[in-house]
Amino acid sequence: MTNSQAGSQFLNREVGQLEFNRRVLAQAEDKSTPLLERLKFLCILSSNLDEFFEVRVAGLKEQIKLDTPGFGPDGMLPRQVFKVVSERTHALVARQYQLLNQEILPGLVDEGIRFLRRMAWNDIQREWIKAYFFRELMPVLTPIGLDISHPFPRVLNKSLNFAVELEGKDAFGRSSGTAIVQAPRVLPRVILLPPEISSSEYNFVFLSSILHAHVGELFSGMSVVGCYQFRATRNSDLFVDEEEVKNLRIALQGELPQRHLGNAVRLEVADNCPPHMSDFLLDQLGLSRDDFYQVEGPVNLVRLMQVPDRIDSPGLKYPPFIPGLPVTLQKKKALDIFQMIRRNDILLHHPFQSFQPVIHFLQQAAADPDVVSIKQTVYRTGTDSLVMAALIAAASSSKEVTVVVELLARFDEEANINWASRLEEVGAHVVYGVVGHKTHAKMAMVVRREEGKLRRYVHLGTGNYHASTARLYTDFGLFTCNEDVCADVNEVFMQLTGLGKAGKLKYLWQSPFSFHSQMLEAIDNEARNAKAGKSARIIAKMNALLEPEIIKALYAASGAGVKIDLIVRGVCALRPGIRGLSENIRVRSIIGRFLEHTRIFYFRRGGTQAVYLSSADWMDRNFFRRIEICFPVLEARLKKRVLTEGLNVYIKDNRQAWEMDGQGNYHLKTGRRGKRLCAQEALLTQLAAAKED
């Protein structure tokens, strides 16, 4: 197959990721989205682009630098991809700031929420801000004048910095003309003025404005010609040779500080930065004009994410809600979670239903004298976690606690290292999984002595054990004490903590061993059924679809007549609706209030209807370089729930659904006829307990 033929079957990953971010921006463009939530979506876009540059663009630039041979699955060379990415990202950022300046900030002014520029300060505000500068900023600022003994500093990744042009000589007779000031990360980027000096309830001032107004105080006796904020984004991938290091945790602790100092991949400057200064900064960072982003406003929009939380204005935010509980868990206040699981499997659908039962499951296990051991995987859990506190409490009470901590969970490495240390201090067994394979599976197992025998209980999930993100991400979690499922989970834990050949699992599909082959077999089985005239159907929901063999199998199934619906939140390399290739495949993406994070795979299987949940997307890394599990929903009533709540309502969504065409472009599907349906709103109405006061 030639590169062009391969490229005709697959779409580019980086371009697909930018398309996803364009859909995120559309949420900020949507005037029906509450105003402060529109601001949040702008911040989310900035955060997404930060990671995109830190990882994906950084990888592209490394490939270009090393002149890596060969084409990607899409038939494009790294230089071609980078050119397209640069063009599209510049257009995306330009629209982002246009929206900020022309719609969102003016809209906030109408609501009495202002970000005051220096020219708008009155005399009283100016005096307060000056006092704030001397009290809060001046003591922690370290200006660096550039000369032979002070070369351009290695500014930290994504830090707010100022390039200052100066005239005159300093105390030592130096007159380099340029200095760099880095704003310490501990300082807030927006400051709320006291009500007694504000013309409205919410008057904010940017830290950059305060520093700009008083930067001359840092250079006594010299004249400030110009002050320009800038921000450098750096390659943030950590390199740890897992096969060479003796202790992964110690190696990571040594490597983490370097994350902020990787090679620069992007420069952002404010609109007042003149060409000669931007050229100077690009030269110092080793970047070109393709890496340069000049924006009309603050260069660090991510830091505005804190603003909505400081404003008490319910009409400008999404309505609050109380997550609900399944009927089986509503019966008793002080419920015995193990008794409930023995009666029936329990399915939780977050964030519409509460994450609290998961915490309660571990807390009860920690306090229950009949519980003898707990095993759990940890990928992301946060810095303040009741889940981890329960595991620490269990280990402190002499229970056998084993925690598989993934130290290489990107951007959560430091938190996980800290948890690993705390767990070890109280006697828990802490292991770091398998060399070369991230442990991404979400599973917890409790072993309890009951009537002289040991019984296992497990929780399996599609998302992390993270109470905060469980309010923001859609995920399913399943409690079961099915002996065969529990035996499978135990086998996976034995692989992670011990040594030996992988045993055969009855129900679970596991990466890197069986998941890929069994998924291909499930797809091929639907194709065989369709060819034989039997009922055949595939519905799959995930974050990303990239793995070439899976895509080819889906194309073959489409050709056999299988109707396929794919709900892919982010990047999708498959081309839907192409005659002779994928005419029976439809791809849609749902972008809304909550981040769609659930992975669900449905196969009609001749009418028996197989439903699987998983922690894994259809990507190379999830199939071959991670420890993942894909687990079945066995009880008929819970299968029906997953189909209804996890798939069908999303297929019917005509409010926040984007349908993808064969060229990789997305079109918002709006309900022109009949009732308009927003899947997330419908699930909130159906599953949440109530709206909060």
Please give the residue range of the domain that contains residue 620.
510-687
Are both 522 and 490 inside the same structural domain?
no
- Residue 27 maps to which CATH number? 3.30.1840.10
pLDDT at 67: 82
Are both 37 and 78 inside the same structural domain?
yes
- 566, part of any domain: yes
The answer to whether 478 and 459 have CB atoms below 8 angstroms apart is yes
Averaged pLDDT score across all residues of the chain: 89
pLDDT digits (tens, 9 = 90+) for 141-168: 988 888 755 688 888 899 999 999 988 7
Closest by Cα among 469, 466, 510 to 488: 510
- CB neighbours of residue 491 within 10 Å: 17
Are both 202 and 310 inside the same structural domain?
yes
On the question of pLDDT at 434 being above 60, the answer is yes
> Residues comprising the binding site for Mg(2+)?
380, 410
Are both 369 and 421 inside the same structural domain?
yes
pLDDT digits (tens, 9 = 90+) for 226-236: 999 999 999 87
Q: Number of folded domains in the chain?
A: 3
On the question of pLDDT at 253 being above 50, the answer is no
Closest by Cα among 192, 215, 217, 212 to 202: 192
> Residues comprising the binding site?
48, 380, 410, 473, 569, 597
- 352, part of any domain: yes
**Of 485, 504, 523, which one is at a domain's C-terminal end?**
504
Are both 554 and 599 inside the same structural domain?
yes
- CB neighbours of residue 84 within 10 Å: 14
Are both 225 and 341 inside the same structural domain?
no
Give the whole-angstrom CA distance, residue 379 versus residue 390: 16
Secondary structure class of 539 (helix, strand, coil) = strand
Residues identified as active-site: 440
For the segment 376-405, the average pLDDT, to the nearest whole number, is: 89
Strand (E) positions, 196-244? Answer: 202-206, 223-234
Are both 222 and 244 inside the same structural domain?
yes
For the segment 12-32, the average pLDDT, to the nearest whole number, is: 96
Are both 549 and 440 inside the same structural domain?
no
Cα 460 to Cα 80, 133, 223, 347, 595: the distances in Å are 42, 51, 63, 10, 20
Give the whole-angstrom CA distance, residue 528 versus residue 505: 25
For the segment 430-458, the average pLDDT, to the nearest whole number, is: 91
Are both 170 and 248 inside the same structural domain?
yes
Are both 152 and 224 inside the same structural domain?
yes
Whether the model clears a pTM of 0.75, i.e. scores above it, the answer is yes
Q: Residue ranges of the alpha helices (H) in 567-634?
A: 620-624
**Of 316, 335, 357, which one is at a domain's C-terminal end?**
316
Burial of 118 (0-12, 13-18, 19+ CB in 10 A): middle
**Of 477, 504, 531, which one is at a domain's C-terminal end?**
504
Cα 590 to Cα 92, 316, 360, 619: the distances in Å are 19, 22, 31, 19
pLDDT at 252: 40
Closest by Cα among 92, 13, 85, 81 to 53: 85
Residue in the structure block whose two tokens are 């929780």: 459
- 408, part of any domain: yes
- Residue 661 maps to which CATH number? 3.30.870.10
- 322, part of any domain: no
Are both 345 and 215 inside the same structural domain?
no
Peptide bond into 143 cis (omega under 30): no
First to last CA, the chain: 61
The answer to whether 211 and 183 have CB atoms below 8 angstroms apart is yes
- 693, part of any domain: no
Name the percent of the chain lying above pLDDT 70: 91
Are both 137 and 39 inside the same structural domain?
yes
- CB neighbours of residue 603 within 10 Å: 22
No. of H helices and E strands in the chain?
Answer: 21, 27
- What is the strand order of the sheet 144-145 is part of? 144-145, 178-182, 161-167, 223-234, 264-270, 292-295
pLDDT digits (tens, 9 = 90+) for 616-639: 999 999 999 999 999 999 999 999
The confidence band for 173, taking pLDDT boundaries of 50, 70 and 90, is low
> Residues comprising the binding site for ATP?
48, 473, 569, 597
